[in-house]
Amino acid sequence: MSDSTAIAHGAQAAPDHGHAEHPPYLRHHFENAEQQNDAAGFAMWLFLLTEVMFFGGLFTAYLIYRNWYYPAFVAGSHQLSIPLGGLNTLLLITSSFTMAMGVWCAETRKKSGLVLCLVLTFILGLGFLGIKTIEYSEKIEKHHVPGFHYSLQSFLDPDSDEAAKAAGDKPLALDMARHTEVYFSLYFAMTGMHALHMIIGIAILGYMVFRAQAGAYTSGHVTFVENFGLYWHFVDIIWIFLFPLLYLISRHS
Amino acid sequence: MTDQKEMEAASHHVVSPKIYVAILFALLIGTALTVGASYVNLGVFNPIIAIAIACGKAMLVVLFFMHVKYSSKLTKLTVFAGIFTFLTLIGMTLADYISRAWGQW
C-alpha cells in the first residue's frame, strides 16, 4: 500500500500534486465536483430518512394513543393556543423560504444576498423558539408538564380553566383525566425534539453567517449551504405535520 | 478549471426565485386553509382534511424547496424508497394494533 502511494506521488511531478487542475474543495477520491456534490446530497438524504423514521415513531405513538385515550387527547389539545401555533407556522414557512433563497444566492454567487438570507433565517428561527418558550412557560405555570407536579385541575374542573372553558370542555372522569399526561408527554417529546433540531440548526446558521461573510459559499462550492437547506426544510416539514395534529384536529371534538 | 465550471453549470440545476415565491404563497395559503378548516365542524373529516393539506404542503417543500423535482434519479429513488418504507412500517404497526383486539379500537 505504501509503495503504491509512493509511486502515485512520484508520478505527479508538480509539487502541489496537480491541485492547480481542480478546485481546492474537490477531494481526490471523487472524479469531479459534480460527483462529490451528488454523493454529499445522497448522504444527507439518507440521514434525513433516519430522521423521518425517528419522528415517524413519535407520530405513530401519538396516533395510537389519541385513538386510545381520545377524550384526554381532545381536552389536552384544547390547552394549546392556535394563534401562537399558527404564528409559529408562518415564521417557520417563511424561514424555509429565506433558506431556499439563500441556496439560490450561493448558487448565483451573491455574497451579500446569501448573508442577508442566512441572517433572516436565523432571526425567524429564533422567533419560533421565542414563541415556543411562551407556550412552554404557560404549560409550566399551569402544571401541565408531566411529572410529580402534574395538575389535573383543568380537566376535572374545566370551568376553572380559561382555555378549557372557552372550548366548552366537560369534566373528565379521574381515570381519563390522568391520561391527559400521556398527551402532554407526547406534546413535549415531539415539540421538544423539534425545538432541539431548531436549536442545532440555528447554531449551524450562526456559524454559516460568518463563513458566508468570508465568501466561503459563493465561489462555486455550495454543497454545505445546499445540504443545510435540506435539513432546515426537513425541520419545517415536521412542524407542518405537528401543527395540525397537536393544535387543530381536536378543536371540534 | 473552465471545463469544471461548465460541467457544474450544466448539471447543477438552479431553481429560480420565482418558483420559491410561488411555493411560499402556496404554503401560506395551505396554512390559512388548514387553520380555517379546523374552525368548521366536519366531524371525522377534520383530521383527514388537516393531514391531507399537511401532506400537500410537505410535498411542495420536498419537490421545490428541497429540489427533488430537479434532482438525479438516485435522489428521487432514495426519497421515494424512504417514504415507502416509512409508510409500510406505520401500516404494519396499525395492522397489528387493529387486529389484536378486533372491534375494540
pLDDT for residue A16: 59
The grid cell for A145 is 408538564
Question: What residues of B are in contact with residue A42 (Cβ under 8 Å)?
Answer: 74-75, 78
Examine the domain organization and report whether B21 and B66 are in the same domain. yes
A19 CB within 8 Å of a chain B CB? no
Q: Considering only residues 52 to 71 of chain A, which have any Cβ-Cβ distance to chain B shorter than 8 Å?
A: 52-53, 56, 59-60, 63-64, 67
Give pTM, 2 decimals: 0.89
Work out how many domains chain B is built from and give that number.
2
Could you tell me which residue, B61 or A33, shows the higher pLDDT? Answer: B61
Examine the domain organization and report whether B61 and B45 are in the same domain. yes
pLDDT mean over A221-240: 96
Mean pLDDT of chain A: 91
Residue A227 and residue A73 in contact, taking contact as beta carbons nearer than 8 Å = no
Q: Considering only residues 28 to 47 of chain A, which have any Cβ-Cβ distance to chain B shorter than 8 Å?
A: 32-34, 37-38, 41-42, 45-46
Question: What residues of B are in contact with residue A58 (Cβ under 8 Å)?
Answer: none
In a domain, B86, yes or no: yes
Task: Considering only the beta carbons, identify the residue of A45, A101, A229 that sits closest to B75.
Answer: A45
Examine the domain organization and report whether B84 and B43 are in the same domain. no
Alpha-carbon distance A141 to A147, whole Å?
A: 14
In a domain, B92, yes or no: yes
* pLDDT-wise least confident of A21-30, A80-89, A112-121, A145-154: A21-30
**pLDDT (tens digit per residue) in B31-50:** 999 999 999 998 889 999 99
Half-sphere CA count of B47, side-chain side, radius 13 A = 10
- DSSP H helices in A142-251: 153-156, 162-166, 174-178, 180-213, 223-242
The parent domain of residue B102 ranges over: 72-105
Q: Which residues contact B28 (CB under 8 A, 6 or more apart)?
A: A90, A93
Q: How far does B75 lie from chain A, in Å, by closest CA?
A: 6
pLDDT mean over A244-252: 92
> What's the DSSP call for residue B14?
P
Q: Which amino acid is at A165?
A: K
Reply yes or no on whether the pLDDT at A113 is more than 60: yes
In a domain, B3, yes or no: no
Q: Do B24 and A93 touch (CB under 8 A)?
A: yes
Q: Do B34 and A21 touch (CB under 8 A)?
A: no
Alpha-carbon distance B55 to B75, whole Å?
A: 20
Q: What angle do CA A176, A181, A183 make, to 5 degrees?
A: 90
Examine the domain organization and report whether B55 and B79 are in the same domain. no
Examine the domain organization and report whether B45 and B62 are in the same domain. yes
Alpha-carbon distance B66 to B22, whole Å?
A: 14
Question: What residues of A are in contact with residue B35 (Cβ under 8 Å)?
Answer: 82, 86, 248
Sign of CA dihedral A192, A193, A198, A200: positive
Q: Which CATH number fits the domain A40-248, given the four candidates 1.20.120.80, 3.40.50.2000, 3.30.70.600, 3.40.50.460?
A: 1.20.120.80
Residue B41 and residue A167 in contact, taking contact as beta carbons nearer than 8 Å = no
A233 CB within 8 Å of a chain B CB? yes
In a domain, B38, yes or no: yes
User: What chain A residue is nearest to B67 in terms of C-alpha separation?
Assistant: A230
User: What chain A residue is nearest to B30 in terms of C-alpha separation?
Assistant: A240
**pLDDT (tens digit per residue) in A53-107:** 999 999 999 999 999 999 999 999 999 999 999 999 999 999 999 999 999 999 9
Residue A100 and residue A114 in contact, taking contact as beta carbons nearer than 8 Å = no
Task: Considering only the beta carbons, identify the residue of A107, A240, A251 that sits closest to B38.
Answer: A251
In a domain, B5, yes or no: no
pLDDT for residue A134: 97
pLDDT for residue A33: 83
Q: Which of A45, A103, A117 to mutate to test the interface with B (most CBs of B within 10 A)?
A: A45
Could you tell me which residue, A5 or A65, shows the higher pLDDT? Answer: A65
Q: Cite the beta strand spans of B1-104 per DSSP E.
A: none
C-alpha closest to that of B66 among A229, A95, A51: A229
In a domain, B6, yes or no: no
Counted across chains A and B, CB pairs separated by less than 8 A come out at 147
pLDDT for residue A1: 43
Domains of chain A, by residue range, sit at 40-248
pLDDT for residue B9: 46
The grid cell for A90 is 408562518
**pLDDT (tens digit per residue) in A157-212:** 999 999 999 998 999 999 999 999 999 999 999 999 999 999 999 999 999 999 99
The grid cell for A7 is 509511486
In a domain, B48, yes or no: yes
In a domain, B79, yes or no: yes
**Three-state secondary structure readout of chain A:** CHHHHHHHHHHCCCCCCCHHHCCCCCCCCCCCHHHHHHHHHHHHHHHHHHHHHHHHHHHHHHHHHHHHCHHHHHHHHCCCCHHHHHHHHHHHHHHHHHHHHHHHHHHCCCHHHHHHHHHHHHHHHHHHHHHHHHHHHHHHHCCCCCCCCCCCHHHHCHHHCHHHHHCCCCCCCHHHHHCHHHHHHHHHHHHHHHHHHHHHHHHHHHHHHHHHHCCCCCCCCCHHHHHHHHHHHHHHHHHHHHHHHHHHCCCCC
pLDDT above 70 covers a percentage of chain B that reads: 89
The grid cell for A14 is 508538480
Respond yes or no on whether ipTM tops 0.85: yes
Residue B11 and residue A32 in contact, taking contact as beta carbons nearer than 8 Å = no
Q: Do A41 and B50 touch (CB under 8 A)?
A: no
Q: Do A37 and B5 touch (CB under 8 A)?
A: no
